[in-house]
Amino acid sequence: MTESDVPVTTFHPYRWGDPQRPAHLPPAALEALAALGVKTPKNPPVTPERIEPSPSRLPAEARTELGAVVGEEYVAVDRETRLAHTRGWSTTDLLKLRSGDAVDAPDAVVHPADHAEVVAVLAVCDRRRIAVVPYSGGTSVVGGLNPVRDRFDAVIAVDVSRLNRLEAFDEVSRTARLGAGTRGPRVEKLLRDKGFTLGHFPQSYEGASIGGYAAARSAGQSSAGYGRFDQMVVGLTVATPRGDLTIGNAPLSAAGPDLRQLFLGSEGAYGVITSVTVRVRPTPAVRIFEAWRFPSFAEGTEAMRALAQDGPLPTVLRLSDEVETQINLSDPTKMLGGGPEGCLAITGYEGREADVAYRREAAGHVLAEHGGHPLGAEPGEAWRTGRFRAPYLRDPLLDAGVLIETLETATFWSNVPSVRQAVTTALTESLAAQGTQPLVLCHISHVYETGASLYFTVACAQTDDPVNQWAQAKKAANDAIRAQGAAASHHHGIGIDHRDNHAAEIGAVGMVAVVAVKEALDPTGILNPGILV
């Protein structure tokens, strides 16, 4: 269903995406996995029908009050709905559900119809001291949907998926206001009907939605050309326990702190984002994807830096390291089948014909000057068409006994080699010490004038306790990232997984500011307890 118009609205609780399109491991992959010591787990995953969350603890009176706000039929306490809103999509989240652990299931899932209903729901929850997990696409991979129940008896998910309309459109200014629950494919459908695109294509595209993009500062695969999501936002509407907030009356201004940048990344802890006004662009007339090979990651990195700093920038720009290139993750149909030598880079160009022609030619010169060898359009197109399939592959890999997870950071260019080395070493040493020598893959997929993101994929055999196995490896990676002074997260957010690194990076005074806003806007602390502060 790549870039399909129909949003995926019913997920399997622990299998990604469209159930009609499951992924299967290519035969070569199974052989390669055996070489890693991977063995099929003793127990197959618990089927969803057999997973039983603990009984809902939502008091009957609260349920009645919430029903009075949104309509009884929009206060779900059934097992399936609660399971579908249990945690997010990290590998740990999936491993827990696979083992039948649904203790984090919300006590109810409320589906408000609009901003006013969100406000009223928060009022009920604030008065009755019910914790609220703001829920849009539900695709967090960092524990952002796993609240600390803490001092709250009940916790509900407030699912904004009914807020999924194009609420306003300004063709002259090229802005669109979209409901927070509008998922990626629907966003593109709504805008394409107007001749426009948002240009935001994270790997979670089929499931994630506008509110989550904003709350967790998503970055998509076309970020070189279209920017990160937080750079696309010109306005926000937020419902907080203290009242409403609508901000963004100009592209940029000098009128004080940019409050948009305070709520972007707030991960539901300051309020429920109900709509986002984004900058949009005309549907590109031309779209060309190509691949290049570099002799080494170091040379490829220099090429990325040259384009990021001196231009021209392609719309898509990514570089896999030697391991990732060999594993061939860029083309899931051939994964683990033995990729090309060196390092694969993908370049994509979208826009008007003359502009694409200029950028493509000039960028090609830069890539070649830095040791790049053109591989033509075929591998580029293979990457483009397969790019939303990677999340599907995790399910059969987990079935086969592979522990597979990703993590990411960002740093300045001069620190890129060191961060890559340190994180790779930390992951490798932690997992090897647990008896499961891993493959650690790395790529650069988002570039800036001053630095870049580094995205790691880790694969190894599962131990008998893969949740704890990964917890140790993740801690080692976090420690390495912190020691390197790199970002706690480039585009996954903080959630639970990056709390310590986030606190360390903003320091005590930064946390004073973050906490002050929380306590002022959410004095009862009902919003996503344990997240951000």
Site for a second copy in 423-452 (CB under 8 A): 448-452
Amino acid in position 507: G
Angstrom distances, CA of residue 213 to CA of 147, 181, 184, 208, 408: 19, 10, 10, 7, 16
H, E, C per residue of 451-516: EEEEEEEEEEECCCCHHHHHHHHHHHHHHHHHHCCCCCCCCCCCCCCCHHHHHHHHHHHHHHHHHH
CB of 262 to a second copy, least distance (A): 5
Q: How many angstroms separate the CA atoms of 113 and 185, rounded?
A: 20
CB of 121 to a second copy, least distance (A): 17
Tell me which residue of 491, 375, 485, 472 sits closest to 426, measured CA to CA: 472
CB of 169 to a second copy, least distance (A): 11
Contacts of 102 (CB under 8 A, 6+ apart): 51, 52, 53, 54, 82, 83, 86, 96
Q: What x/- string results for residues 42 through 81 when contact with a second copy is judged by CB under 8 A?
A: ----------------------------------------
Size of the chain, expressed as the number of residues it contains: 533
- CB nearer to a second copy: pick between 105 and 517: 517
Helices 297-310 and 353-369, interaxial angle, to 10°?
140
- CB nearer to a second copy: pick between 97 and 145: 145
Q: What x/- string results for residues 307 through 326 when contact with a second copy is judged by CB under 8 A?
A: --xxxx--------------
CB of 96 to a second copy, least distance (A): 23
Q: What x/- string results for residues 387 through 426 when contact with a second copy is judged by CB under 8 A?
A: ----------------------xxxxxxx-----------
- CB nearer to a second copy: pick between 14 and 455: 455
Return the range that interacts with a second copy (CB under 8 A); candidates 49-57, 62-70, 116-124, 306-314. Answer: 306-314
Exposed/middle/buried for residue 435 (C-beta within 10 Å: 0-12, 13-18, 19+)? exposed
CB of 483 to a second copy, least distance (A): 12
At 277 the three-state DSSP class reads: strand
Q: What x/- string results for residues 142 through 181 when contact with a second copy is judged by CB under 8 A?
A: ----------------------------x-xxxx------
- CB nearer to a second copy: pick between 368 and 516: 516
| In 251-375, alpha helices (H) | 260-263, 297-310, 322-327, 353-369
Q: What x/- string results for residues 447 through 486 when contact with a second copy is judged by CB under 8 A?
A: -xxxxx--------------------------------xx
Dihedral sign, CA of 310, 311, 313, 319? negative
List the strands of the sheet with 286-294, edge to edge.
373-376, 286-294, 343-351, 316-320, 439-444, 451-461, 402-412
CB of 191 to a second copy, least distance (A): 15
218-277: which residues touch a second copy (CB under 8 A)? 218-219, 228, 230-231, 234, 238, 240, 242-247, 249-267, 270
**Which residue matches tokens 């996954």?**
492
- CB nearer to a second copy: pick between 189 and 242: 242
Number of residues that bind a second copy (CB under 8 A): 95
- CB nearer to a second copy: pick between 225 and 371: 225
Is 105 a residue that touches a second copy (CB under 8 A)? no
Contact pick of 200, 279, 293, 443 for a second copy (by CB under 8 A): 279
CB of 433 to a second copy, least distance (A): 28
186-225: which residues touch a second copy (CB under 8 A)? 216-219
- CB nearer to a second copy: pick between 181 and 493: 493
CB of 154 to a second copy, least distance (A): 26
At 125 the three-state DSSP class reads: helix
Tell me which residue of 208, 163, 166, 201 sits closest to 183, measured CA to CA: 208
CB of 411 to a second copy, least distance (A): 6
Tell me which residue of 135, 157, 138 sits closest to 56, measured CA to CA: 157
**Which residue matches tokens 């002799």?**
295
CB of 140 to a second copy, least distance (A): 11
480-519: which residues touch a second copy (CB under 8 A)? 485-494, 498, 501-502, 505-510, 512-517, 519
- CB nearer to a second copy: pick between 40 and 261: 261
Which H/E stretch holds residue 126?
helix 115-128
At 34 the three-state DSSP class reads: helix
CB of 515 to a second copy, least distance (A): 7
CB of 260 to a second copy, least distance (A): 8
Half-sphere exposure of 110 (CA within 13 A, CB side): 33
The phi and psi torsions of 446 (rounded to 5 degrees) equal -140, 125
State the DSSP string of 57-73: ---HHHHHHHHHHH-GG
Return the range that interacts with a second copy (CB under 8 A); candidates 57-65, 183-191, 355-363, 380-388. Answer: 355-363
Tokens of 453: 């993101």
